[in-house]
Chains A and B, each alone.
Chain A
Amino acid sequence: MNLSCLDSLVPDYVKCFEAYVPSKPDHELKKIYGCTVLHRLNNNENPLGPPPAAQAVIDRFPPPRASLYPSGDAYDLRHRLADRFGLHPDQFLVGNGANEVIGFVIKAFCQQGDNIVTADRTFAVYEWVARFSGFEARLVPLKDFGFDDGGMSAQIDERTKILFVCNPNNPTGTYWSLDRLTRFLERVGPRRIVVVDEAYCEFVDQKDYPDGIRLIRDYPQLVVFRTFSKMYALAGLRIGYLAGAPEVVDVIRKTCVVYSVNVLAQEAALAALDDETHVHRTREMVREGKTYLSQALNRLGLPFICGEGNFMMVKLPISDTLAYRKLMTQGVMIRTMTGFRFPNWIRVTVSHRHAMDAFIRSLADQVAS
């Protein structure tokens, strides 16, 4: 096939977009960096693994069922979510990870010339999906490491369709209180969609932290994202969901890809949802890990941000990309923050004590010295 005309087929907004290159698999990374173990502290995964009931579902999964299509719209899971949150099952859409539902929402509401508003230093996928779909992403600088509600409001114009708020914010861990979120919703009004991404909500232990799903009844322009990847440790199965007012979700459903969530993910999520013991154990591990890391980082004299979520940010005296390479040689994988527009910062997942020990030891040897 002659592809000499390929260039003319590609929209400009795709041409100027750079594809995201994920990390290589662990076995390749270990070979490349010459390490025998690899502590994965880069993706905010839960080292405790899925809740026991979800693990049992995975263990017992009969291989022949892999030949059957899953429920196309995660029927059982949506009903279970509806019971749990007191909404109608049709107010939920389940996606192949929360990343997929970002695309559903943007495709449902944006057309040529529209824009979205979010922060400059937050989870990058809102910005990416908007840009490679041909829509402007208006990025508002963080204020004191948190989303700037005033700055976001100031960016709104008649073509603004969606505002994305990551609450708590990845990677800074800052959050908007119930009062601040509702004031923002009032100010934005009903003519625009406000997405609140609550990927890390189960880790938050603050009384004034809002449960976005409870606000949907009063604020029908609100769409809430949640994931089973973080607290429920089902990242490898890819499953997340959104919740919203019936009329809003009806619109989003039109752009929703059905059958994109596999059967194992649906059943494991269903089993994981009610395990409060797992949530408690994970929170306890994160709490202990943060205390340990905070003390160790203070001893090393390294500034850090310890907000909500199962991660912390650390400011280094060297380039974060150099720190990545140095730590990888010691079998410790962290996330560099240059791509988040936080040069010389790293984000580290709070994990088991032995992984935290390895991180601090490597940091002391390779970076702080």
Chain B
Amino acid sequence: MPLLETEHTPRLQVCTDVAFLPMLTGFVEKGAELFGLAPTQATELTLAVEEIFAYLCQTDRRVQPLDIRCSGGGYYVRIDFLLPAPAFNMRAFNLTASVPITEAGGMEEMGLRIASRLVDRLQLTESDGPGARLSLVKEKSYPPVSNPERLTAVPLESFAVTAPHPEELKRIAQMIPLAYQPHLIPSFFGFPGKVSDMVASGEYRAAIAKGDGGRIGGGILWHWTGARTVQCLGPYLFNQQTPHPMAEALLEACIGDIAKTQAVCLINRYPTDALPPGHFEPLGSWTGYTPAGTPIERVAYFRLMREDPGASVWCHPALEPFLRKEYRRLVLPREIFPAENLGESIPAFSVLWTEFDRSQAQVTLRPLRFGADAETNLIDHVRLLTKEPATGVFFFMDLGRPRQTLFTPHLLTHGFTPRAVLPYAGDGDIVIFQLNDPAS
């Protein structure tokens, strides 16, 4: 999620004292209105911010200064809490944390969990310096596809790849759900206005293939998912014979756009049958779910954008066989350094951050801190998350951070399987674990 701030970004500085809550809610309401959120979504965002703020006030009895920013991302409004860690009790960011708000004791449904359900994305990012950023993203509401029967595509004899104007973008956003199964595409394609705003904001980019008379034959979208990783969606072809050179031309437009940027890895998690052979390498597979809850095996693909200069990674011995096999298969030169706890002192508490992607029925756990309670904490998270119906539970381990790899034996003991290695997706490569059969 890119930073959107400019010198004109609205900011509010308060202390972690509930007395400031009315001031904060007023700031969020006005900000949401300014950046175009409808009243219902604005209310939900405000409620989520209230929950977070109250939670932060309760987690630490000391009064802390807090910097809060509001920004618009075209199709969403975002609130950022800049947390002056280490003053904050990071343990509170475990989704399973139960913090007493009354003398009567803890409440299970509170704080982070309530907030996570009120917004579309809730992310915690540790900054390089001291502190962290907690971001709440609330997307705007858009009408779904209308009159789909009017959208027809014909095979094109010739075509040119161009950047789409907004009306063309809305048109392909309507055509994609007609041409592809829902579980093969991100859910936002059902909302053309949203896709138009996503591209207009600059967060997403797009190219389309047009023939004579402006007829659209296909399209592709791409966006940054990390500092060095870009995800492409598509290419999507409409009523064109496959394989078709249009698919390669669309993909080359995407690659050409990011070729001279800091992008190191291009991934494709929603491959279609139009994906040109030879441009990508199979990264690994994971179990996804159809909207009806049926498990479905999915394959992710990637390509490096540069010559691989080699890298070193940290690895717990229990993960080493998997890593060596994957690095050999992917021909990725890696020096593997062992990382395990050999009795040295470690923090008492671990922290796992939970990210929900409700549209894809996925939950991702990201380790922020390893601690003595790591196994218990993991078990608690699994217990809580498996209550969610038909949801893929993932654990992203950054091999550039040795402490994260210490979660390995607990993951393997408690039902997680390493599924893929994503090169250069974090400080180092990221290993993606998935919880086996979470529905059972």
Scoring A residues 5 to 45 as 1 if CB is less than 8 Å from chain B, else 0, what string do you get?
A: 00000000000001001011000110011100000000000
Cβ–Cβ contact B306 & A32, under 8 A: no
Q: Which of A317, A335, A338 has the most CB of B within 10 A?
A: A338
A-B contact pairs, 30 of them (CB 8 A): A4-B129, A18-B261, A18-B262, A32-B309, A32-B333, A120-B256, A317-B277, A318-B278, A319-B279, A319-B280, A319-B304, A321-B304, A322-B281, A322-B304, A324-B307, A325-B308, A325-B332, A328-B333, A329-B331, A335-B307, A336-B306, A338-B255, A338-B259, A338-B303, A339-B305, A341-B252, A343-B251, A343-B255, A343-B279, A344-B279
Cβ–Cβ contact B308 & A24, under 8 A: no
Q: Which of B260, B308, B309 has the most CB of A within 10 A?
A: B260
Question: Which residues of B sit under 8 angstroms from A24, Cβ to Cβ?
Answer: 309-310
Top-9 shortest CB links A-B: A32-B310, A321-B304, A18-B262, A341-B256, A325-B331, A32-B333, A319-B303, A343-B255, A317-B278
Give the nearest-CB partner of A339 in chain B: B259
Q: How far is the CB of A119 from chain B (nearest CB, A)?
A: 12
- A33 touches which of B279, B304, B305, B310 (Cβ 8 Å): B310
Cβ–Cβ contact B331 & A338, under 8 A: no
Extra inter-chain contacts (12) besides given A325-B333, A338-B259, A341-B260, CB under 8 Å = A18-B260, A23-B309, A32-B309, A127-B260, A128-B260, A317-B277, A319-B280, A336-B306, A336-B307, A338-B306, A339-B305, A341-B256
**Once bound together, how far apart are the Cα atoms of A322 and B333, in whole Å?**
11
- Number of A residues near B (Cβ < 8 Å) is 33
Q: Which of A18, A28, A335 has the most CB of B within 10 A?
A: A18
Give the nearest-CB partner of B335 in chain A: A32
Cβ–Cβ contact A316 & B278, under 8 A: yes
Cβ–Cβ contact A343 & B252, under 8 A: yes
- A338 touches which of B278, B305, B309 (Cβ 8 Å): B305
Scoring B residues 250 to 268 as 1 if CB is less than 8 Å from chain A, else 0, what string do you get?
A: 0110011001111000000
Q: Which of A29, A127, A128, A319 has the most CB of B within 10 A?
A: A319
Q: Which of B262, B277, B331 has the most CB of A within 10 A?
A: B331
Question: Which residues of B sit under 8 angstroms from A322, Cβ to Cβ?
Answer: 281, 303-304, 331
Question: Which residues of B sit under 8 angstroms from A338, Cβ to Cβ?
Answer: 255, 259, 303, 305-306
**Once bound together, how far apart are the Cα atoms of A343 and B305, in whole Å?**
9
Question: Which residues of A sit under 8 angstroms from B331, Cβ to Cβ?
Answer: 322, 325-326, 329
**Once bound together, how far apart are the Cα atoms of A37 and B335, in whole Å?**
20
Cβ–Cβ contact B278 & A324, under 8 A: no
Give the nearest-CB partner of A18 in chain B: B262
Cβ–Cβ contact A341 & B259, under 8 A: yes
Question: Which residues of A sit under 8 angstroms from B305, Cβ to Cβ?
Answer: 321, 338-339
Cβ–Cβ contact B278 & A319, under 8 A: yes
**Once bound together, how far apart are the Cα atoms of A188 and B145, in whole Å?**
49
Give the nearest-CB partner of B280 in chain A: A319
Question: Which residues of A sit under 8 angstroms from B256, Cβ to Cβ?
Answer: 120, 341
Give the nearest-CB partner of A137 in chain B: B260
A340 at the interface (CB under 8 A from B): yes
A364 at the interface (CB under 8 A from B): no
Question: Which residues of B sit under 8 angstroms from A32, Cβ to Cβ?
Answer: 309-310, 333, 335
Q: How far is the CB of B310 from chain A (nearest CB, A)?
A: 3
Q: How far is the CB of A164 from chain B (nearest CB, A)?
A: 15
Chain B, interface residues (CB within 8 Å), range:
20 to 34
Cβ–Cβ contact B307 & A321, under 8 A: yes
Give the nearest-CB partner of A28 in chain B: B310
Q: How far is the CB of A127 from chain B (nearest CB, A)?
A: 7
- B residues in contact (CB < 8 Å) with A: 129, 251-252, 255-256, 259-262, 277-281, 303-310, 331-333, 335
Interface positions of A from 336 to 369, Cβ below 8 Å from B: 336, 338-341, 343-344
**Once bound together, how far apart are the Cα atoms of A324 and B309, in whole Å?**
10
Cβ–Cβ contact A33 & B251, under 8 A: no
Scoring A residues 81 to 116 as 1 if CB is less than 8 Å from chain B, else 0, what string do you get?
A: 000000000000000000000000000000000000
**Once bound together, how far apart are the Cα atoms of A32 and B311, in whole Å?**
8
**Once bound together, how far apart are the Cα atoms of A32 and B307, in whole Å?**
13
Question: Which residues of B sit under 8 angstroms from A341, Cβ to Cβ?
Answer: 252, 255-256, 259-260
Question: Which residues of A sit under 8 angstroms from B260, Cβ to Cβ?
Answer: 18, 124, 127-128, 339, 341
Cβ–Cβ contact A319 & B281, under 8 A: yes
Q: How far is the CB of A349 from chain B (nearest CB, A)?
A: 15
Interface positions of A from 238 to 274, Cβ below 8 Å from B: none
**Once bound together, how far apart are the Cα atoms of A205 and B305, in whole Å?**
34
Q: Which of B303, B307, B331 has the most CB of A within 10 A?
A: B307
**Once bound together, how far apart are the Cα atoms of A316 and B331, in whole Å?**
17
Question: Which residues of A sit under 8 angstroms from B308, Cβ to Cβ?
Answer: 321, 324-325
Q: How far is the CB of B312 from chain A (nearest CB, A)?
A: 10
Question: Which residues of A sit under 8 angstroms from B252, Cβ to Cβ?
Answer: 341, 343
Q: How far is the CB of A4 from chain B (nearest CB, A)?
A: 8
Give the nearest-CB partner of B309 in chain A: A24
**Once bound together, how far apart are the Cα atoms of A221 and B259, in whole Å?**
32
Q: How far is the CB of A80 from chain B (nearest CB, A)?
A: 37
Give the nearest-CB partner of B308 in chain A: A325
Give the nearest-CB partner of B331 in chain A: A325
**Once bound together, how far apart are the Cα atoms of A18 and B277, in whole Å?**
29
Q: How far is the CB of A163 from chain B (nearest CB, A)?
A: 19
Q: How far is the CB of A355 from chain B (nearest CB, A)?
A: 18
Cβ–Cβ contact B278 & A33, under 8 A: no
Are A23 and B279 also in contact (CB < 8 A) when A339-B260, A341-B256 are? Answer: no
**Once bound together, how far apart are the Cα atoms of A127 and B279, in whole Å?**
26
Question: Which residues of A sit under 8 angstroms from B307, Cβ to Cβ?
Answer: 23, 321, 324-325, 335-336
Q: How far is the CB of A124 from chain B (nearest CB, A)?
A: 7
Question: Which residues of B sit under 8 angstroms from A329, Cβ to Cβ?
Answer: 331
**Once bound together, how far apart are the Cα atoms of A340 and B277, in whole Å?**
20
Question: Which residues of B sit under 8 angstroms from A343, Cβ to Cβ?
Answer: 251-252, 255, 259, 279, 303
